[in-house]
Amino acid sequence: MAVAVTAAAAVILVVFVYGDRGGGLERTQQQPYRSAFHFQPHKNWMNGPMYYKGVYHLFYQYNPYGAKWGNITWAHSVSHNLIHWIHLPHAIQPSHPFDIQGCFSGSATILASHHHHHKPLILYTGLSSTNQQVQNLATPKNMSDPFLIEWDKSSHNPLMTPPVGIINPNSFRDPTTGWRGADNTWRVVIGGEIDGHGAAVLYKSDDFVTWERAHSPLHSSNKTNMWECPDFYPVRVHGKKGIATSTNGGVGIKHVLKASFHDHDYYILGTYDTKTDRFNVTVDFMDDKVQLRYDYGLFYASKSFYDPGKKRRLLWGWVTEADSEANQVKRGWSGLQSMVRSVSLHKTKKQLIQWPVKEVEKLRRKKVSMKNKELVNNSVIEVEGISASQADVEVSFHLPNLEGVELINENMKTDSQLLCRRMNASVGGKTGPFGLLVLASKNLTEQTAIFFRVFKIGGKYAVLMCSDQSRSSVETPVKEPIFGAFVDIDPSRGISLRTLIDHSIVESFGGRGVTCITARVYPKLAIAGNSHIHVFNNGEKNVVVSTLRAWSMEKAHIG
């Protein structure tokens, strides 16, 4: 079952993960893989967010009793800046027949009207005593409490139950943030499976309590199975400012539908008619040539929300562990949250771009830089002077000569991960691989490589981005040794990369957020002060580091 918490509607918040309370040396020796500035629970299993009266709330699914999946509860943390977090008592726990077997994913919505005075509500999936997935409502007990610590469950629960004979009672979960249509009626989407295919099941309500299922799903697919954690929201065609979830469609607006399936978060873009509830797309899920994903690494069950204070759409996802369950139980915790990302529509209008929120830059310390450094074949240059296991690195590469780059067939573009496996960081080519080696040991026995290659396909340049974890640890292998995706940019204008390194998580943003890859690694040698960062080039053609800026990152306060 899904394990993420959705963001709120008009004002939302989504986040999770506690950092440890421990200090430097003891923390590194005992828990070298705990994140320092990514949200993570102190212990046990987590996954899985609203903005209300100046406070960001992070709701996340949590197992109070162990590092394995189970006993799912809504934990709760708050922040004023999306970086430093305060842990609060659990918000929602199993207690009634409609959720006694677990309180699973859901979303927060702000009911903005003269009747409700911007009242926050939570819709969540409960696993009932009869093993049905049902949708329930929770409301704040004390509206004057800015932290919204206590929540009451509605006496009307469950509000929505699986339609008999239409949807499998085990495939009906994860309600989205609510939005209002042109008729002023509230709508939400429930993740489901109809006739074996994924669907966003649409419900409508006048009061957010009594819900009626629409005759047709908002969207469905005959190329996928069950959709988990759907998300539906508008984006501007021009400009990077976000817009509220209930903003009606029309000129200058597109809508994003995201669904979690096949262990990844896929999305499609389209136009939404608020009068007919028709969502029209030109490129659908699992298209033969274009399969859009938020992230091409470990990133699942994500949720977005609109931040009205700074007028932006924010997103973050659940990042699973990549080693064995036995290791997770031994450590006493499992899973963390990605860095919160701003989301907007790319200028091509064909895909989204993502970028870490500006607030994370407040943690930067000890800046080092490099400029106009040429990397010849087999070059490896260390980036010295920062804490390499806890860093933020921005680098831009210039390619002086793109003549004679390798040609590949159009069909090879459909499986970028396979291409990265065949041409990993140690396999030299014409143009690339070049990029960063992070969490590297002194002699490079351990290394995680984030790199690029440039090809030509049908007369056009194609930039491949890979994250190679195959040599990340001499002791702990990861489930996926390499990730890859193409970056829709013109390499003649340079190729940029930003990477956030936080002990066991490596988040990389290629082409200013056009392509994102998140990886988990567990180095044995390259930890704490024994970790290093390098720029490298294993390609035949020279590459120039136009600019590189890197910072040590301070630890976030979470507790």
pLDDT at 363 (0 to 100): 98
Kindly indicate the confidence band of residue 43, based on its pLDDT and cuts at 50, 70 and 90: low
* 370 and 351 part of one domain: no
* 387 and 311 part of one domain: no
* Mean pLDDT of the region 288-303: 94
Lowest average pLDDT, out of 53-67, 276-290, 312-326, 537-551, goes to: 53-67
Please name every residue paired with 500 in a beta bridge, in sequence order, or none if there are none.
392, 507
Domain region containing 114 = 24-356
* 368 and 352 part of one domain: no
Q: What is the pLDDT of residues 330-350, one digit of tens each?
A: 998 889 999 999 999 999 999
Which two tokens mark 163?
Answer: 């339609």
Q: What gap in Å lies between CA 10 and CA 105, rounded to an integer?
A: 19
* Mean pLDDT of the region 271-282: 93
User: What's the whole-model pTM score?
Assistant: 0.93
Q: What is the pLDDT of residues 194-237, one digit of tens each?
A: 999 999 999 999 999 999 999 999 999 999 999 999 999 999 99
Q: Are 307 and 40 in contact (CB under 8 A)?
A: no
* 226 and 374 part of one domain: no
Q: What gap in Å lies between CA 200 and CA 455, rounded to an integer?
A: 38
17 in a domain, yes or no? no
pLDDT at 248 (0 to 100): 78
The answer, yes or no, to whether residue 9 has pLDDT greater than 50, is: no
Domain harbouring 309, CATH code:
2.115.10.20
* 374 and 478 part of one domain: yes
The answer, yes or no, to whether residue 122 has pLDDT greater than 90, is: yes
Q: What gap in Å lies between CA 164 and CA 444, rounded to an integer?
A: 58
Lowest average pLDDT, out of 25-34, 183-192, 488-497, goes to: 25-34
Q: What is the pLDDT of residues 410-452, one digit of tens each?
A: 888 888 999 999 999 999 999 999 999 999 999 999 999 999 9
The answer, yes or no, to whether residue 405 has pLDDT greater than 80, is: yes
- Could you say which of 327, 356, 385 is where a domain stops? 356
pLDDT at 85 (0 to 100): 95
* 206 and 188 part of one domain: yes
* 372 and 342 part of one domain: no
* 298 and 415 part of one domain: no
Q: What gap in Å lies between CA 536 and CA 494, rounded to an integer?
A: 16
45/12: higher pLDDT: 45
In our burial notation (b when 16+ CB lie closer than 10 A, e otherwise), range 184-216 reads: eebbbbbbbbbeebbbbbbbbbeebeebeeeee
Strand order in the sheet with 495-502: 364-375, 543-553, 390-398, 495-502, 505-510, 515-520
202 in a domain, yes or no? yes
The DSSP result for 92-110, as a single string, is E---STTTTT-EEEEEEEE
Average pLDDT, the chain: 91
- Smallest CA-to-CA distance from 109 within 274, 306, 330 is with 306
Q: What is the pLDDT of residues 445-497, one digit of tens each?
A: 999 999 999 999 988 999 999 999 999 999 999 999 999 999 999 999 999 99
Helix (H) and strand (E) counts in the chain: 3, 38
Kindly indicate the confidence band of residue 49, based on its pLDDT and cuts at 50, 70 and 90: confident
* 243 and 286 part of one domain: yes
64 in a domain, yes or no? yes
The number of distinct structural domains making up the chain is: 2
* Mean pLDDT of the region 6-13: 29
pLDDT at 410 (0 to 100): 84
pLDDT at 117 (0 to 100): 65
Which two tokens mark 426?
Answer: 């140690």
427 in a domain, yes or no? yes
Burial of 251: CB neighbours in 10 Å, binned 0-12, 13-18, 19+? exposed
pLDDT at 397 (0 to 100): 98
Start-to-end CA span in the chain (Å): 28
Q: What gap in Å lies between CA 448 and CA 52, rounded to an integer?
A: 39
Kindly indicate the confidence band of residue 113, based on its pLDDT and cuts at 50, 70 and 90: low
The answer, yes or no, to whether residue 25 has pLDDT greater than 80, is: no
- Could you say which of 329, 356, 383 is where a domain stops? 356
- Smallest CA-to-CA distance from 13 within 312, 351, 333, 360 is with 312
pLDDT at 333 (0 to 100): 87
- Could you say which of 303, 324, 356 is where a domain stops? 356
461 in a domain, yes or no? yes
The answer, yes or no, to whether residue 29 has pLDDT greater than 70, is: no
Q: Are 439 and 472 in contact (CB under 8 A)?
A: yes
Kindly indicate the confidence band of residue 115, based on its pLDDT and cuts at 50, 70 and 90: low
Lowest average pLDDT, out of 85-99, 106-120, 250-264, goes to: 106-120
* 165 and 226 part of one domain: yes
12 in a domain, yes or no? no
pLDDT at 2 (0 to 100): 39
380 in a domain, yes or no? yes
Which two tokens mark 126?
Answer: 């409960």
Lowest average pLDDT, out of 43-57, 293-307, 413-427, goes to: 43-57
Burial of 155: CB neighbours in 10 Å, binned 0-12, 13-18, 19+? exposed
Kindly indicate the confidence band of residue 4, based on its pLDDT and cuts at 50, 70 and 90: very low
pLDDT at 11 (0 to 100): 26
3-state SS of 424-481?
CCCCCCCCCCEEEEEEECCCCCCCEEEEEEEEEECCEEEEEEEEECCCCCCCCCCCCC
* 510 and 368 part of one domain: yes
